[in-house]
Structure 1
Amino acid sequence: MDLTQLEMFNAVALCGSITQAAQQVHRVPSNLTTRIRQLEADLGVDLFIRENQRLRLSPAGHNFLRYSQQILALVEEAREVVAGDEPQGLFSLGSLESTAAVRIPSLLAQYTQRYPKIQFDLATGPSGTMLDAVLAGSLNAAFVDGPLVHPVLEGMPVYQEEMMIVAPPGHAPISRARDVNGVTVYAFRANCSYRRHFENWFHADRATPGTIHEMESYHGMLACVIAGAGLALIPRSMLETMPACHQVAAWPLADNWRWLTTWLVWRREGMTRSLEAFIEMVKMSLPGTLP
């Protein structure tokens, strides 16, 4: 059974005549007769009652017609989703937690309002997790820490993040890693690019962080810092949105460690109309060149 047979069957069921159906699907009558016979043989039932050069649906044919129409409608819907002009269907986006919380809420609202036929799904997590999902095809695109270095991916820089070292209130100014050698750190899992950046900041100054406690949210990190339990690295854009930000001391990292760039990335061969529309909307939302 194939789609061509289903289309032929539907045409014959509608016309009640092989000759008329053949004209509708642009085939010769003998071809339709052969394909319908093959379909009946595959199913093991007669789909038509043949009498006086006319065909009318058998009881089994009536039941099969309903399912064949549903199948063809789903196929047409799938074609529209993947190849149609209007963005529609499932669009799965990944994002760093800070980007999802601060940078893109209004962008996502505009996108879903402009394209109501899109089924939008958002996942947040560390850069490593998001990149793996894009490579696996389970995410159409993701906001991750750049720069982009991968032969299968394409992308563009979108946001510049100023990285702040956050310490308990009253802490002495921190200008280098040796100032806090051996201090406990709160961070995301090991595949988080911000965590790697923090660890590299220590190692470049020949210092070492103390115990690294893995957390699931910036709010959890900040609560631990406020309690005097250690340090955290948080983007300024995220820190300034948190109600308790005034309860900690914070300083930007030194200039060569201070800025990280967030990229929007996608698979090189994974462009869809929905992704194309999202990229265009992202470009329109940017103020211009990155600082």
Structure 2
Amino acid sequence: MEFSQLRIFQAVAEEGSITRAAERLHRVPSNLSTRLKQLEEQMGVELFVRERQRLQLSAAGKVLLDYTARLFALREEALGAVQGGVPAGKFTLGTMYSTAAIHLPALLARYHRSYPAVNLHVQSAPSGELLEGLLTGRLDAALVDGPLELAGLDGVAFCQERLVLISDLDHEPITRAQDVQGREVFTFRQGCSYRSRLEAWYASDRAAMGRVMEIESYQGMLACVVAGSGVALMPESMLASLPGRESVRAHPLQPPFDSATTWLMWRKGMMGANLNAWIELQHTQPCNMA
């Protein structure tokens, strides 16, 4: 069993397709098929089953995927150890969209300047997908909505966000969910923690949400609200950065829905040199934790 085989196995598991994995790894599909078959023969088990034109992990494959992530992390840790703990190699950081846009640019620039030997990759997604990426080993660390109490994960607070509900300019003040009952709601797809918070806000007031329209960007949400057709929830810092913000009205929410803490999370026991360097840099440039 070689690291190159495990890298192919990991790519196919994450993509669910040999063709897409081949494109990601810049190889031909036949090469990946051969290497996977060799790996299965060496281990004496089938790692994938085909379901609806997509490759799904078998029970044995799921076990191997977990070990694969740990092996890659240990390899990076070993490289760092023999190099005197100097950050180097690949470091994949997941982040929520708003965090990436508002809080990360300066930190990313400093990290690149301070640790040029690190190949830093940043992936943006809803919190639910980021947590899945952490648990499967696809991500080394992730900035997610917290605090979280999940087995196998550690974390530190990163920043505090104030959340606001936005409406068209002419809307009356919104103090509770009943004030916007039945109105259209613009939000990210399922898995977004802010969407879950918004749903909980409606439920706490026994108010019915209107039709939910899934939008892939805060800019898109703002544009829809400006058109006067509904409401959206977003961090106040995100709203402040968007062109056209003066065309909507921001309504503060009541506790406990008025704020959220973003946490940096990682798998327990996986504190390598790259992650440790990020945390140290994060502490020297703290975000607003008010």
User: What is the Cα deviation at residue 78 of structure 1?
Assistant: 9.0
Structure number, greater radius of gyration: 1
Tell me which residue corresponds to 2:18.
none
Matches within 5 A, 1:114-193: 114-193=114-193
Aligned letter for 1:234?
Answer: M
Tell me which residue corresponds to 1:28.
none
Residue 110 of structure 1 aligns to a residue in which SS? Answer: helix
CA distance in 2, matches of 1:165, 1:78: 43
| 8 A contact 1:83–1:273 mirrored in 2 | no
CA distance in 2, matches of 1:119, 1:285: 21
Residue 240 of structure 1 aligns to a residue in which SS? Answer: helix
| 8 A contact 1:126–1:193 mirrored in 2 | yes
| 8 A contact 2:146–2:262 mirrored in 1 | yes
Change (3 A) 1:124 1:255: same
Tell me which residue corresponds to 1:66.
none
Give the alignment's TM-score, normalised by structure 2. Answer: 0.72
Change (3 A) 1:247 1:87: same
CA distance in 1, matches of 2:234, 2:146: 16
User: What is the Cα deviation at residue 267 of structure 1?
Assistant: 0.4
Matches within 5 A, 1:237-256: 237-256=237-256
| 8 A contact 2:76–2:272 mirrored in 1 | no
CA distance in 2, matches of 1:175, 1:83: 58
Change (3 A) 1:246 1:88: same
| 8 A contact 1:82–1:272 mirrored in 2 | no
| 8 A contact 2:77–2:272 mirrored in 1 | no
Tell me which residue corresponds to 2:112.
112
Give the alignment's TM-score, normalised by structure 1. Answer: 0.71
Residue 151 of structure 2 aligns to a residue in which SS? Answer: coil
User: What is the Cα deviation at residue 243 of structure 1?
Assistant: 1.0
After superposition, the C-alpha distances for 1:171-223 in whole angstroms (9 at most, x for unaligned) are: 11100000011111000011100001001100100101111111110000000
User: What is the Cα deviation at residue 285 of structure 1?
Assistant: 1.1
Aligned letter for 2:175?
Answer: S
Change (3 A) 1:79 1:155: closer
CA distance in 1, matches of 2:82, 2:266: 18
| 8 A contact 1:167–1:225 mirrored in 2 | yes
Residue 241 of structure 2 aligns to a residue in which SS? Answer: coil
Q: Which runs of 5+ in 2 are unaligned?
A: 3-74
CA distance in 2, matches of 1:209, 1:116: 48
Tell me which residue corresponds to 2:79.
80
User: What is the Cα deviation at residue 80 of structure 1?
Assistant: 2.6
Aligned letter for 1:151?
Answer: A
CA distance in 1, matches of 2:271, 2:214: 35
Change (3 A) 1:266 1:79: closer
User: What is the Cα deviation at residue 157 of structure 1?
Assistant: 1.1
After superposition, the C-alpha distances for 1:93-132 in whole angstroms (9 at most, x for unaligned) are: 0001000000111001100111001001000010000111
User: What is the Cα deviation at residue 81 of structure 1?
Assistant: 4.6
Number of corresponding residues: 216
User: What is the Cα deviation at residue 229 of structure 1?
Assistant: 1.5
CA distance in 1, matches of 2:81, 2:252: 45
Q: Which contiguous aligned blocks of 4+ residues in structure 1 show a shift greater than 4 angstroms?
A: 76-79
CA distance in 2, matches of 1:191, 1:180: 23
Aligned letter for 1:138?
Answer: R
